[in-house]
Amino acid sequence: MNSIIGTDEIGDVIVISTQGYLNKDLGEEIFALVEKNISDGKKKFIINLAQSDIVNSIGASIMIEIIEELQEADGTLAFCTLAPIVEKTFTIMGLTKYCSTFESQEAALEHMA
Amino acid sequence: MSPDTALIQKLEVLQDFQSKRNLISQVAGLSHIDLVFFRFKTALRKLGLQQFFFQGDLPQGLLNVSQVIEVDAGHHIFSIIEPATHISKYHVCPIFFEANLAGFIVTEKNSSSLYAILTLAHHLSCLLMRQKFENQMSRKSTELKYRLLEVESLIDVVGILNNSDDLNEEVYGQLLLTILLVLNASKGLILLREKGTGLFSVITSFNIKTSDLPNKVITENRGLLKILKTAKEGLIINDVEKYPLTSFANKNAIACPLVDQSCLVGCIIVVDKETRVGHVNFTPRDLRLCNSLGAKISLAHSNFSLFDSLKSSNKLVESIMSSVNTAILKVNVMGEVEYVNQSALRIFGVGQGDMLDQHYRVVLNNNPELIKIYEEVESQPQRTYAEDVTVFSMDGTPHQVNLTLSPVISDQSDDMEGFVFSIEDLSEIHRVKSTFKKYVSENIVDEVLSNANSLELGGAQQDVCILFCDIRGFTAMSEKLRPSEVVYILNHYFEAMIDVVFRHGGTLDKIIGDELMVLYGVPVQTKNDIDNAVATAFDMFKALSQFNKKLSKEGFPELKIGIGINFGPVVCGNIGSKKQMNYTVIGDAVNVAARLCSNAKPGEILISQAIHAGAQNKSPFTRQSPLRVKGKSEALEVLGATAAI
């Protein structure tokens, strides 16, 4: 169902992979995970949404909160492998103004390096 | 401190209140400026104010707020006088925002404090106002984003439907995701009516456990679907536990019907609207949006149903049109070919691309007769029939056709929609007829082709004229010839004889070895049947004479024939089985004719009394010795004639 299916530390980047509906529940799960990692000193995050082909505005607004948290901590966030409808929702919600999106995880990692 | 342009400009440039406060404190020589607020705590924090008191955490002794409010009735700057010393030590300036007292600015009193406190109060009010507008703008912006999402969702739904060739499970899946997204719903499913059974089943679902999906028979006659069937519009369901179809919801649900021609064909169910603080109830606005999306999907469902129905009809029509031998060509009012079937392509000898959308003058370029007929009908629209018209294919091959040209009138508007050529290709009929005529008399061919009942087994009794013609001594002669020579002679002989028979309207009944049996009066009786039979007999001898000359030239022996003719009642009709039948006659009159033939000498025609009685020209015949026939008690009256060869 809707969950985080993987958290990988690749170099100094934390890659969070999800599946299912990026809604309030999954959004808050990601938020908590990012918050914990920020407190552990991590600053670079990639959220891989390859297996999340739908997001609602609540999920998108929680992503904005994550971006705000990271801005406070002088960190960065990127998204990768977004379904077109997810990318469109992110754009409408103004999310893409504050973070980058990439077609692949490799491209996102390269950007973070 | 006094009004100072430079100071004013500096204050204007500074964006946050804390900086303004610091600047004024510094310029006015004030050690502190305190702020006391009753409201707008969040707004003040957003303005960057770091040091202010809020009602409730006011330092003891600094200010007695209730006392201040009483004093402040006139909205003036005032001083606080210490009760013990009666010395005024503080300036207090109320801060009003939208006519409401928001708080106070309190500062120690000196020569500059009055102007300082007024300036600061003014800036603070302005900042609060700006903060309010920014908040409003932010809320409006968020609202606009949601509205934009709604519009985009509608566009997405239209896009999904427009780009789909079929409304299948995948398409419904995409539609459901779009609806869930725009409504911020947690879960959802779409039910569709199954063709045939009329039962409803889940075609797609999202975020619902399989165990939560409805597993009972779902019909429109009970429960939620019954309500939707009647209402024909969506509804918000708060008592979700009441219906099995919404029992997986935690909060509430929207159920929206899919309707096709007033018939419930499906249903969209979405549940549990999400917000940042948890699930909330769907609103009427959500319902309105869901109804709009449902209406779009319903319309698409109707269109696809109609399209499917149209495709089936077209397939059926195309199948019928392809199977008929009649060529069909539809020309629209612009004179362009709109439809053409396979038979028409065959007759015109072209491919579909050569005809479709082409002007009739191009298509019928080498068929001026058709163009003429078309233009006559176009000028005076009425169904026109033309028989035995020659149509030329692209390579010049002629086809004999019967043509019907019909105007097409719209059912709705009575407007002319074009013309339909219906072209019956006669080539095949002509070919069959021609082949048929090699085997049977033209009379029979025409009878069979014109009267469907003529192919039924059975017969009728009528008077018929029967002619037998036999080659004399042919068996002995053929023994001296090679088989190929026998066949050659017989074929050419029969060709000559049968030509004579057909010329006089005879019906070739059968060829038995070297003998011909010919009938007159069947299947069509005429008053000249006897004379035709007699004339045939004499012409046969003439034809034989010519044929013998040919045989002689080729070194073959000449043929000699004898002919017998009788007239009398016979049973005639199709005799045999359904698979193999012959049109023939049976009866005593046939036997008599055969007997007359077998008794005729070479070059002789023997006729019965009945023939003689009926013949117009009796002069060639002379009475002969009566003839004994097997099975007859009395001898037959016989007349004979010798053919002038």
Structure tokens, B162: 């427009």
Give A56 to chain B, closest Cα distance, Å: 5
Tell me the pLDDT tens digit for each residue of B81-115: 555 666 667 777 877 777 777 777 888 878 777 77
Q: Do A23 and B184 touch (CB under 8 A)?
A: yes
Distance CA B57, CA B46 (A): 20
The number of C-alpha atoms within 13 Å of B365 and in the hemisphere containing its C-beta is 11
Residue B268 is predicted with a pLDDT of 96
pLDDT at B190: 95
The highest-level CATH class for domain B5-136 is: alpha beta
B chain contacts of residue A62, beta-carbon cutoff 8 Å: 276
Which residues are paired to B90 by β-bridges? B80, B108
pLDDT at residue B51 in the model: 53
Instruction: Tell me the residue length of chain B.
Output: 645
How far does the CA of residue B158 sit from the closest CA of chain A (Å)?
14
What is the predicted ipTM? 0.71
Other Cβ atoms closer than 10 A to A88: 19
The partner residues of B105 in beta bridges, in order of sequence, read B35, B93
A39 Cβ under 8 Å from any chain B Cβ: no
What local confidence, expressed as pLDDT, does residue B394 receive? 87
| Nearest CB neighbour to B180, from listed A54, A61, A62 | A54
Residue ranges of A 57-76 with Cβ closer than 8 A to chain B: 57-58, 61-62
- Give the one of A20, A53, A57 whose C-beta lies nearest to B184's C-beta: A57
pLDDT of residue B532: 94
User: CATH number for the B433-642 domain, one of 3.30.70.1230, 1.20.200.10, 3.40.250.10, 2.30.29.30?
Assistant: 3.30.70.1230
Measured between beta carbons, the chain B residues lying within 8 angstroms of A53 are 177
Cβ contact A56–B148 (<8 Å): no
Tens-place pLDDT, residues A74-103: 999 999 999 988 998 898 888 888 889 999
Residues carrying CATH 3.30.450.40, chain B: 5-136, 164-307
B152: chain A residues, CB-CB within 8 Å: 88, 92
| pLDDT for residue B644 | 62
CATH of domain B324-425: 3.30.450.20
Superfamily of domain B164-307: GAF domain (3.30.450.40)
Pick the closest to residue B203 from B216, B194, B215 (CA basis).
B194
Residue A85 near chain B (CB below 8 Å): yes
B180–A21 C-beta distance less than 8 A: yes
Residue B24 and residue B4 in contact, taking contact as beta carbons nearer than 8 Å = no
Structural domain harbouring A74: 3-112
What contacts B47, CB < 8 A, 6 or more positions away? B16, B17, B127, B128, B131
Instruction: Answer yes or no: do A2 and B207 touch at CB < 8 A.
Output: yes
Q: How many structural domains comprise chain A?
A: 1
pLDDT at res. B457: 55
Q: What single-letter DSSP state applies at residue B76?
A: -
From B454, B592, B456, select the one nearest B522 (Cα to Cα).
B454
State which residue of chain A sits closest to B186, comparing Cα positions.
A23
In Å, what is the CA distance from B595 to each residue of A47, B69, B568, B622?
Answer: 112, 151, 14, 18
Q: Which residues of A touch B177 (CB under 8 A)?
A: 53-54, 85
| Positions in chain B whose pLDDT score sits under 70 | 1-4, 38-39, 41, 43-88, 431-445, 447-458, 644-645
CB–CB contact A58 B275 (8 Å): yes
Residues of A in contact with B146 (CB under 8 A): 57
Say how far apart CA A47 and CA A59 lie, in whole Å: 13
Out of B145, B152, B274, name the one closest to residue A23 (CB): B274
pLDDT score, position B22: 84
Q: Does the beta-carbon distance from A85 to B274 stay under 8 Å? A: no
Chain B positions with Cβ closer than 8 Å to A: 145-146, 148-149, 152, 156, 177-178, 180-181, 184-186, 206-207, 209, 274-276, 278
pLDDT of residue B20: 83
The residue whose two tokens read 């004898």 is: B562
Instruction: State how far residue B170 is from chain A, nearest Cα, in angstroms.
Output: 14
| Alpha-helix runs per DSSP H in B506-626 | 529-553, 588-599, 609-614
Quote the minimal CA–CA distance from B61 to chain A in Å: 38
* pLDDT tens, position by position, A49-78: 999 988 988 899 899 899 989 988 999 999
Q: How far apart are CA B348 and CA B335, in angstroms?
A: 17
Q: How many CB pairs under 8 A join A and B?
A: 51
Tell whether A32 is within 8 A of chain B (Cβ). Answer: no
